Amino acid sequence: MIERLLSSERLLSLHHALQAKQSVLVEGLWNSPKALIAAIAQQATGKNVLILTGASQEEGRLYHDFPFFTNRPVITFPAWETLPSEKIPPSPDVVGDRYQVLHTILDHNEPVIILSNLHACLQRLISPTSFDHLYVTLKKGETIGFETLIQQLNDMGYVRTPVASDKGEFAVRGGIIDIFPVSSPDPFRLEFWGDAIESIRIYDPIGQKSVKPVDEVEVTPAQEMELLQNAQETSTILDYLGEDTIVIFDDILSLEDRYVALLGASNSPTPNFTSIEQFLDAISHRQTLYWTPQPIEELSSIEIIDEDERGYYSEHAMHTLAFQMFNRTLQAKRWNHPFVPLSHFLLPDQEEVTGHDLLLSLNALAHSKIALHLLCNSEPEESTLQKRILENNIKLPDDSTYHIGYLSSGLVVPDCDVMLFPMTEITHRFKIRRQKQRSTYHTVPSQAFDLTPGELIVHLNNGIGRYVGIEKRPNHEGNLTEFFLIEYADQAKLFVPVNQAHLITKYIGSSEEIPKLHTIGSNRWKRAKEQTQRAILGYAKDLLELYATREIKGGHAYPSDTPDMDAFE
């Protein structure tokens, strides 16, 4: 598709500018042309592409637009849930996602496209060399020292527990090592014969029952904050991507707002965060693209750098401009894109346009030279669209093609006569990215929503507290999010995102006595968990002995049911 679109004179000029390693400013974009431009940038330069988005919702929609334009890996790099000034360890789910992204970057010899945000990219990382040393792939039949693996898991930040039931834990029983990698939705059970791995099986972290065998398991480091504190050398995502990286600022106004919000917390270098100034310095010598929904004149005063350029108001010319953002003077070639939204092209005089209106308006293209590409998510959706076109007697252009594909919005490139018309323009149903972080949760998330304010609850990591209610407040990305508000001893408050509901359960006591609230950060809850785990192991031992005794002694075999009993049942 990109080759067909590059017949556009203006898209070809962008391609040449990117090949010449020029930085480019583009105004008035929406998601589908953003994905197209990023794919062209990657193809023209052969570099990695790092896209810094200003809004998480836009990041999600943009993610799904890439596969239609490129087959390069597109991955998201998430941020911790904490701010630079906080000393709270991040969720192991987030740590696992971040480490998996780093492994993908280092493991791929071909360029990748990374979707991230300013917060995530400011967070310091262990160096690529250290990460490579701490990343382990364990295979069935492989020989590795039993004690060596235990020590390596300790070095990687895994915590040894009696039962490995949560991410970041491992357990040792005889010749068996259970590991719950932070980057995996499932834990793994490794059975050794001497120093050889005889079998690897996925197991249920709640019932501890083996589920199915696998041939190998990849184990990433389990911690970030703790490993960073002991690291002699730290890095950023730019160090993993290398010098051959294009950095795209998506919605520079939104990013600058985020920059201002983070400035106070990360202006001085910390063990966990680099300063924004250092990050911008690292980007300054890399090729950059700047995207903004509004004209740059609305955001900053501008200066024309190329004095000899006379065609300033020509929509085809590319002018070098200087503008102010992030307390810096930036320079880029302004490129006037050729993209037109479907509604503006097909129904320019109609203010409110429905999907049905757009579909009917295709009649006007019956005798045009436009190459119409109709995108459907599936074959049944394609059949439904064809049926609607027949029922409404819509005549399509001669050069019309159906594709199984997805875009969040359509676009038209008039100067090469191409129209991309996705079904989302009719249905307004957008793809939602759902990432599976765990196969089994300790608590069904929906149960947490049955809580009543004032009830005692138990948080997996912080112990007994009092549920206050649900509160809406900005999250670490500045987006309004719902949190469970839990009160602990000394009137301390903990805000738990609703997507971490699996960490919360109702308190069920063994007596009618009301327990004291735990203190956040104390060892009281940790000791209680350890005592309970030891008691569970003791109970399991008693059960095993009981069933072994029953197996040895045998039992009484009752006769089969008679026909009368079968009839009665």
What are 154-203's pLDDT values in tens digits? 999 999 988 888 889 999 988 899 999 999 989 999 999 988 999 999 99
**214, pLDDT greater than 90:** yes
**437, pLDDT greater than 50:** yes
pLDDT-derived band at 308 (thresholds 50, 70, 90) equals very low
Model pLDDT, residue 263: 65
As a whole number, mean pLDDT of residues 513-518 equals: 82
Model pLDDT, residue 43: 92
Most confident of 85-89, 166-170, 225-229, 261-265: 166-170
Model pLDDT, residue 447: 46
As a whole number, mean pLDDT of residues 364-372 equals: 89
Report the amino acid identity of residue 284.
Answer: S
Radius of gyration of the chain (CA): 29
**309, pLDDT greater than 60:** no
Q: How far apart are CA 136 and CA 59, in angstroms?
A: 31
Token representation of residue 480: 């309004």
Pair 237, 77: CB distance under 8 Å: yes
**422, pLDDT greater than 90:** yes
Model pLDDT, residue 531: 83
pLDDT-derived band at 280 (thresholds 50, 70, 90) equals confident
**131, pLDDT greater than 70:** yes
**228, pLDDT greater than 80:** yes
Pair 329, 323: CB distance under 8 Å: yes
CA distances in angstroms from 479 to 13, 90, 349, listed in the order given: 37, 18, 35
Q: How many CB atoms lie within 10 A of CB 518?
A: 19
Q: Between 8 and 439, where is the model more confident?
A: 8
Q: How far apart are CA 21 and CA 543, in angstroms?
A: 69
Model pLDDT, residue 512: 61
Segment (H or E) for 326: none
- pLDDT, one tens digit per residue, over 288-301 is 999 998 988 888 88
pLDDT-derived band at 498 (thresholds 50, 70, 90) equals confident
Model pLDDT, residue 267: 47
Model pLDDT, residue 442: 54
Model pLDDT, residue 143: 92
Model pLDDT, residue 47: 92
Model pLDDT, residue 8: 85
Percentage of the chain with pLDDT > 70?
91
Q: Between 307 and 294, where is the model more confident?
A: 294
| Dihedral angle sign, alpha carbons of residues 516, 517, 523, 525 | positive
Query: Closest Cα to residue 463, out of 517, 405, 384?
Result: 517
- pLDDT, one tens digit per residue, over 46-104 is 999 999 987 655 566 788 999 999 998 899 998 887 765 666 778 888 899 999 999 99
pLDDT-derived band at 23 (thresholds 50, 70, 90) equals very high
Pair 250, 58: CB distance under 8 Å: yes
* 240 CB-near residues (< 8 Å, 6+ apart): 102, 105, 106, 125, 128
Q: What is the pTM of this model?
A: 0.74
Q: Between 58 and 2, where is the model more confident?
A: 2
As a whole number, mean pLDDT of residues 8-29 equals: 90
Q: Between 455 and 521, where is the model more confident?
A: 455
Q: What value does the mean pLDDT of the chain take?
A: 85
Range of lowest pLDDT (13-27, 398-412, 432-446): 432-446
229-266 burial, b for 16+ CB within 10 Å, e for fewer? Answer: eeeeebbbbbebbeeebbbbbbbbbbbbebbebbeebb
Q: Are strands 463-474 and 480-487 parallel, antiparallel or unpaired?
A: antiparallel
Q: Between 451 and 365, where is the model more confident?
A: 365
Q: How many CB atoms lie within 10 A of CB 5?
A: 20
**438, pLDDT greater than 80:** no
pLDDT-derived band at 539 (thresholds 50, 70, 90) equals confident
Model pLDDT, residue 166: 87
Model pLDDT, residue 122: 85
